[in-house]
Each structure stands twice: as C-alpha cells, then as structure tokens.
Amino acid sequence: MGYFITFEGGEGTGKTTIITYLSKYLEGKGYGVISTREPGGIDIAEQIRNIILDVKNTKMDYRTEALLYAASRTQHLAEKVIPALNENKIVLCDRYLDSSLVYQGIARNLGIENVLKINMFATKYMPDITFFIDVKPEICFKRIKDNNRAMDRLDLENMDFHNMVYEGYKTIAKMYPERIVSINGDRTIEEIINDIKQRIDKLLGE
C-alpha cells in the first residue's frame, strides 16, 4: 500500500507549486509518485466537473453541487488513486474531501455532518496526511490578480465566501488534528517545502 497525501486551502495558496516541488523531491528519493487533482484527467469525473464549474449554471442547488463533487471524487479515486496506491505509489492530491467539508459543508452551509455522510459513501480512503496551506484570503486574491489567472464560478464568489472558506479550514483542521497539518503558506516556497518535507519524511519512516 502506498501513501495518500492531500493538499488543501483556498484559491491562490500555492498548492500546485508545492506539489510540483514535492513530487520531484520524492521521485529523487526513488519513490513512485503521482500528482493529481480531482477530476484528474478521468473522463467521467472531468465531465461532472465541467457541469459544476460552468459559469452558466447559476441555478445549481448547493446539494446538487455537493453530490456532484462526491461523484467526481469516487470516479477519480476508483480509476486513478486506488490503482496507484495498490502499486505502492505516493499519491499527491490537490484537494480532496476536506474541500467539500469546507466549501459545501461550511461555506454553503449544508452542514459538515451531511457532507461527511455523502462523502463516506463516495470514498473508500481517508488521506494518510493532509496539509492545509494557511494563507489569508486577501493575500491569495492579490496573487491571483497579479498572475492574471482566469476565474471560475467559485472564484467569483464574494470576499465573505472566501473568508468563510478560510475559517472553515481552521475548523476542519481542529476536527482532525492527527491527520491535518497546518502550514503557514505566507512564506518563501523553500520554507514551506522544508516544513512539509519534514512531515512527509516522518510519515515515510525516514
């Protein structure tokens, strides 16, 4: 069995850059690594995701949104994550079920318990460790604007929504202290990576 490592945080927290660095680091140590994100290039999951993020779908009920995320997650897990774990690989995944607990459970106000329930049906695996990249929303937004990144339907939510997401992650981190590690993401990439490397080396028994 491999290791399932997930990364969480709001938009513009630097998850993608962090995962790229870590993947190289772990490969350099001789581990088999895959980096992925939902929907992860899985055709069925991709199609589901397009419905969720389409800016035209303003009528989408929040419960529909939660169920679609869970459905996309199941497919990505079944086709990509579980096979890789069975091949003893390390799976680095940008967002997983904590995103649903925070965005749908807390920010959309569906309730953490409800969202957890549907996700417990949808998924078979909890991550071995989850890194919450802690960066305040104002800083994230400045980064997104500076990078001219395109905005999707959820990015277009107002600042209150993003503040709720941020506070939501803090709540979830407290709920799962043995799994979720908070990392101060408002530092240089080297400092951030160093902290994460240490935690991963410990997990791998190095």
Site string (6-35) toward ligand TYD, x via CB under 6 A:
-----x------------------------
Task: Please tell me whether residue 99 binds ligand TYD under the rule CB under 6 A.
Answer: yes
The Cα–Cα gap between 21 and 129 comes to: 17
For residues 165 and 147, give the distance between their C-alpha atoms in angstroms, rounded to a whole number: 21
Residue 201: other Cβ atoms inside 10 A: 13
Contact 129, 199 (CB under 8 A): yes
Smallest distance from ligand TYD to CB 97, Å: 7
Look up residue 179 and give its two tokens. Answer: 């799994």
Helix (H) or strand (E) holding 181: strand 180-184
Stretch that binds ligand TYD, among 21-29, 76-84, 99-107, 189-197 (CB under 6 A): 99-107
Q: For ligand TYD, what does the binding mask look like between residues 167 and 206, x meaning CB under 6 A?
A: ----------------------------------------
Closest residue to ligand TYD using C-beta atoms: 103
Considering only CA atoms, which of 120, 118, 103 is closest in space to residue 53?
103
| Minimum gap (Å) between residue 133 Cβ and ligand TYD | 10
Site string for ligand TYD, 36-55 (x = CB under 6 A): -xx-----------------
Phi, psi angle pair for 58, to nearest 5°? -70, -15
Please tell me whether residue 95 binds ligand TYD under the rule CB under 6 A: yes
69 makes contact with ligand TYD (CB under 6 A): yes
List strands edge to edge, sheet with 180-184: 33-37, 90-94, 3-8, 129-134, 180-184
Instruction: For residue 123, state whether it binds ligand TYD (rule: CB under 6 A).
Output: no
In one-letter notation, the amino acid at residue 10 is G
Among 60, 78, 116, 154, binds ligand TYD (CB under 6 A): 154
Applying CB under 6 A, which part among 26-34, 93-101, 167-175, 184-192 lies near ligand TYD? 93-101
- Secondary structure (3-state) at 158: coil
Which residues are near ligand TYD by CB under 6 A? 11, 37-38, 69, 95, 99-100, 103-104, 152, 154
